[in-house]
């Protein structure tokens, strides 16, 4: 999995490429943490994410909770059809902002 990050003002931009599994989800947690306390909002680009496991979903939910604690929000950008289906099956599409 490849992750790139950028902090633009108070928005942490994260792009995830590959598979987000139990083995790789700690990398995403680290990326969120490395953005520091200046990141209030999170834009997570999922356009090149091929697969997401329950461990990956947990990281996204915890990032949403972090953003809300800081008075911000999270946006999941351009998920693939396969990843969108997982969000829909788990009900996360109802509680997270997903931008197609």
CB atoms within 10 A of CB 22: 11
Phi, psi for 97 (deg, rounded to 5) = -85, 115
Options 1.10.3470.10, 3.40.50.10680, 3.40.309.10, 3.30.750.24; CATH for 2-99 is 3.30.750.24
Q: Give domain limits for the chain.
A: 2-99
Single pTM value for the model? 0.95
Give the pLDDT confidence of 43-99 residue by residue, as tens digits: 999 999 999 999 999 999 999 999 999 999 999 999 999 999 999 999 999 999 999
Give the pLDDT confidence of 15-37 residue by residue, as tens digits: 999 999 999 999 999 999 999 99
Percent of the chain's residues with pLDDT above 90: 99
Token pair of 26, please?
Answer: 């700690």
């Amino acid at each position: 999995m490849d992750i790139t990050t950028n902090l633009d003002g108070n928005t942490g931009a994260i792009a995830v490429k590959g598979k987000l599994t139990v083995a790789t989800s700690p990398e995403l947690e680290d990326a969120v943490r490395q953005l520091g306390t200046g990141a209030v909002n999170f834009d997570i680009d999922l356009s090149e994410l091929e697969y997401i496991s329950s461990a990956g979903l947990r990281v996204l939910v915890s990032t949403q909770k972090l953003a809300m604690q800081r008075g911000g929000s999270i946006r999941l950008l351009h998920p693939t059809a396969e990843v969108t289906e997982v969000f829909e099956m788990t009900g996360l599409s109802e509680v997270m902002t997903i931008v197609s």
